[in-house]
């Protein structure tokens, strides 16, 4: 099937034509590892996991290379180590473990390669030396800077000119810079900070050079897709492009950017403090699939909010679908559903198609499509809430006669314990599974 993707570079939706006809390659900027991933970080992961799944569906699971890095050298990590007195490697190891667990809970597959920046310092140094030799960079006071004005296409990804950027951005003026636009590829480290020997003295890399070096090492000079959140377009991605192109690499053909997860109209971010982590929600009993479903209900190029209403609807839908596909062996993913996904990841369209399949009781196709989208739904072990509601109602009717309500009270307590909301009236009983619903606690009841 033809896949169309919106390319930030050309500002248009294009037919995706991979460099090699039968395979695809993708690089996505990964997390800086010093803290739990927040829900905004998770959006980027879920979006590109969905693209990865679509590419695997199209080209075969062994024909897609997906690289997502871990930034494990960064001043935010150094600051966290200084605050807590912990070793940097303890912090980064622990955070990488958390990240993989939390993203796994959201149904995200692990990429084919997950390089850590600190394992690619030699490649970064080699690239920086090459850029100096070619006249695109210079060393000054233990720093190496990229000479932005030496690359005439700088700014084309985000569609800004260098002069506009200087006017609009907070570019750092520093004594070692020839031009305020120039950005750091290498900086000196004092003895208490992580550092590596280099031709410019002991130091550490800047953030942008990491991605250029790791992408080159793992994917070569040219690859198909580069992804990340749209907060990275400028300066991070402009800088990656400048470094790689000036080394003579073609770099990425298609640039894809997800929009931000917001809180009351503002980007969710660590620096604004308006974030909650994926782990916060999982600990509240919200299932990973529910978070994934809410993320996918909005197209990746639109901003979105996480709301309780969306969570509630996702829970209801997934519970219904889980019952439908229970015990069904998954068939092929539905063709129309794949068509939606192939249209620049139209996930909301794909979900509306899943609703159609559910209404038409096409269980095998629904199961196969859900699986392809990363949902492994399990029906809640034989618990039918409508049956339990009828049972509670008749027990209550009998108790009104006998005036012995002990059995009714015991059932209500068991339901509450299992996270079910109970509403009773003369007409009947309504049971609603809440966010902490745990069906296993009801096994003795029916």
Q: Which CB atom, from 218 or from 411, has the smaller least distance to Zn ion?
A: 218
Within 134-173, the residues that bind Zn ion by CB under 5 A are: none
Between CA 329 and CA 364 the distance in angstroms is: 6
In angstroms, the CA 297 to CA 426 distance is 39
Nearer to Zn ion, 219 or 351 (CB): 219
CB 36 within 8 A of CB 102: yes
CB of 267 to ligand AMP, least distance (A): 5
The residue range among 29-37, 187-195, 275-283, 364-372 that interacts with Zn ion, by the rule CB under 5 A, is: 29-37
Residue 338 CB-half CA count within 13 A: 18
Distance of CA 79 to the CA centre of its chain: 25
Establish how many alpha carbons lie within 13 A of residue 332's alpha carbon, considering only the half-sphere containing its beta carbon: 5
Beta carbon nearer to ligand AMP, 157 or 372: 157
Within 170-229, which residues bind ligand AMP (CB under 6 A)?
A: 228-229
Q: Enumerate the β-bridge partners of residue 5.
A: 14
Q: Of the candidates 112, 269, 395, 407, which one interacts with ligand AMP according to CB under 6 A?
A: 269
State yes or no: residue 211 binds Zn ion (CB under 5 A): yes
When binding is defined by CB under 5 A, the residue of 3, 24, 29, 367 that contacts Zn ion is 29
- CA-CA distance, 344 to 282, in Å (whole number)? 29
Outline where 28-117 has alpha helix (H).
39-59, 75-84, 88-105
List the single partner that 211 binds among ligand AMP, Zn ion, none, CB under 5 to 8 Å by kind.
Zn ion
Q: How many residues bind Zn ion (CB under 5 A)?
A: 2
Taking alpha carbons only, the member of 272, 288, 228 closest to residue 254 is 228
Side by side, the strands of the sheet bearing 266-267 are: 266-267, 261-263, 304-305
What is the smallest separation between the CB atom of 56 and ligand AMP, expressed in angstroms? 21
The answer to whether 261 contacts ligand AMP (rule: CB under 6 A) is: yes
269 binds, among ligand AMP, Zn ion, none (CB under 5 to 8 A by kind): ligand AMP
* CB nearer ligand AMP, residue 31 or residue 115: 31
Stretch that binds Zn ion, among 27-35, 91-99, 145-153, 344-352 (CB under 5 A): 27-35
Q: Which of 187, 235, 35, 27 is nearest to 112 (CA)?
A: 27
Minimum distance, C-beta of residue 151 to ligand AMP, in the bound complex (Å): 23
User: Which listed range, 206-214, 337-345, 369-377, 410-418, lies at the site for Zn ion (CB under 5 A)?
Assistant: 206-214
**How many chain residues touch ligand AMP (CB under 6 A)?**
17
Q: Select from ligand AMP, Zn ion, none the partner in contact with residue 32, using the beta carbon and a kind-dependent cut-off of 5 to 8 Å.
A: ligand AMP
- Taking CB atoms, the residue at the shortest distance from ligand AMP is 229
E strand or H helix that includes residue 295: helix 288-297
Nearer to Zn ion, 255 or 293 (CB): 255
Residue 198, binding choice from Zn ion, ligand AMP, none, Cβ under 5 to 8 Å by partner class: none
Residues 29 and 67 sit within 8 Å (Cβ to Cβ): no
Distance in Å, CB of 249 to ligand AMP, minimum:
21
Tokens of 398: 């009998």
Whole-number Cα distances in Å, 400 to 82, 386, 393: 67, 21, 11
Structure-token pair, residue 45: 């992961």
Question: Which of Zn ion, ligand AMP, none binds 44 (CB below 5-8 Å, type-dependent)?
Answer: ligand AMP
CB of 268 to ligand AMP, least distance (A): 4
Instruction: Tell me the sheet residues that pair with 12.
Output: 7
Q: Tell whether residue 44 is a contact of ligand AMP (CB under 6 A).
A: yes
Distance of alpha carbon 114 from the chain centroid: 14
Q: What is the DSSP string of 299-362?
A: -TTS-EE--HHHHHHHHHHHHHHHHHHTTPPP-PPPHHHHHHHHBT--HHHHHHHHHHHHHTT-
Q: Which stretch binds ligand AMP (CB under 6 A): 37-45, 117-125, 338-346, 414-422?
A: 37-45
Of the pair 238, 380, the CB lying nearest Zn ion is at 238
Output 26 or 442, the one with its CB closest to Zn ion: 26
Stretch of 80-88, 144-152, 171-179, 208-216 lying at the interface with Zn ion (CB under 5 A) = 208-216
Partnered with residue 116 across adjacent β-strands are 70
Give the residue with the Cβ less far from ligand AMP, 59 or 276: 276
In the complex, which residues of this chain contact ligand AMP (CB under 6 A)? 29, 31-32, 40-41, 43-44, 228-229, 231-232, 258, 260-261, 267-269
Site residues (CB under 5 A) for Zn ion?
Answer: 29, 211
């Amino acid at each position: 099937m033809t896949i169309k993707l919106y390319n930030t570079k050309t500002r248009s939706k294009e037919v995706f034509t991979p460099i090699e006809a039968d395979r695809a390659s993708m690089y996505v900027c990964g997390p800086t590892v010093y803290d739990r991933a927040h829900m905004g970080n998770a959006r980027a992961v879920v979006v590109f996991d969905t693209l990865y799944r679509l590419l695997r569906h199209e080209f075969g699971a062994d024909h897609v290379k997906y690289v997502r890095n871990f930034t494990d050298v960064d001043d935010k990590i150094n600051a966290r180590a200084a605050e807590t007195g912990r070793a940097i490697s303890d912090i980064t190891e622990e955070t990488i473990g958390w990240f993989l667990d939390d993203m796994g809970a959201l149904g995200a597959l692990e990429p084919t390669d997950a390089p850590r920046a600190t394992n690619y310092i030699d490649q970064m140094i080699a690239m920086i030396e090459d850029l100096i030799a070619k006249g695109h960079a210079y060393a000054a006071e233990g720093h190496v800077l990229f000479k932005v004005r030496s690359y005439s296409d700088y700014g084309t990804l985000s569609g800004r000119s260098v002069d506009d950027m200087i006017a609009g951005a907070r570019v750092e003026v520093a004594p070692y810079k020839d031009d305020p636009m120039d950005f750091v590829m290498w900086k000196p480290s004092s003895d208490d900070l992580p550092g590596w020997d280099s031709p410019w003295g002991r130091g550490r890399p800047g953030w942008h050079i990491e991605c250029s070096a790791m992408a080159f090492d793992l994917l070569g000079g040219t690859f198909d897709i580069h992804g990340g959140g749209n907060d990275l377009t400028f300066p991070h991605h402009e800088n990656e492009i400048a470094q790689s192109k000036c080394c003579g690499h073609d770099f990425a053909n298609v640039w894809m950017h997800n929009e931000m997860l917001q809180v009351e109209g503002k980007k969710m971010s660590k620096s604004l403090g308006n974030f909650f982590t994926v782990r916060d929600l999982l600990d509240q009993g919200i299932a990973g699939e529910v978070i994934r479903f809410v993320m996918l209900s909005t197209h990746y190029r639109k901003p979105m909010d996480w709301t309780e209403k969306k969570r509630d609807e996702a829970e209801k839908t997934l519970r219904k679908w889980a019952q439908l596909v229970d015990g069904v062996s998954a068939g092929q993913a539905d063709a129309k559903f794949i068509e939606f996904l192939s249209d620049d990841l139209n996930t909301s369209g794909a979900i509306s198609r899943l609703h159609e399949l559910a209404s038409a009781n096409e269980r095998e196709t629904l199961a196969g499509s859900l699986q392809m989208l990363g949902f492994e739904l399990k029906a809640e072990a034989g618990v039918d809430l409508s049956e339990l509601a009828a049972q509670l109602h008749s027990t209550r009717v009998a108790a009104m006669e006998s005036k012995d309500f002990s059995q009714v009270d015991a059932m209500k307590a068991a339901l509450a314990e299992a996270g079910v909301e109970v509403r009773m009236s003369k007409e009947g009983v309504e049971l609603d599974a809440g966010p902490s619903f745990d069906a296993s606690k009801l096994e003795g009841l029916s």
